Amino acid sequence: MKNTFISNRLQAFVYAFRGAYLLLKTEASIQAQFFIALLTIIAGWYFNISTTEWMFQLLAIGLVLGIEGANTAIEKLCDFIHPDYHKQIGFIKDIAAGAVFFVATVAVIVGLFIYIPKIYNLLASSF
């Protein structure tokens, strides 16, 4: 089969799908964040969040999972290049983890903006 633009894109999708599967299968941090993502999706259905809230929530989920995946790749690459402890490798890995921290913190803030008013209204209506 001749390599065409479409066949190359399909192959790239297969590689990406395999990478996502490997992340979910092997990485505890991705598994935990994926579980939290599922909980927020269920909460979105339960609270009937708006289209705009869905967009922000899904963007936050995608960013957290994507940056965590990139962090995992950086860590694996660093460990492959220099398996023993090295100060500079540690610095690189800390920076990658810091990027995850920034995105995850903002994702939590987005979640709070979406769900605090809904939880408040739910509690207020039950009294």
**Residue range 34-74, pLDDT digits in tens:** 999 999 999 999 999 999 999 999 999 999 999 999 999 99
Which pLDDT does position 2 carry in this prediction? Answer: 66
Please indicate whether residue 56 or residue 4 has the higher confidence score (pLDDT).
56
pLDDT digits (tens, 9 = 90+) for 29-38: 999 999 999 9
Query: Which domains occur in the chain, in start order?
Result: 28-125 (1.10.287.3610)
What is the pTM assigned to this prediction?
0.89
Burial code of 34-68, b = ≥16 C-beta within 10 A, e = fewer?
bebbeebeebbeebebeeebeebbeebbebbbebb
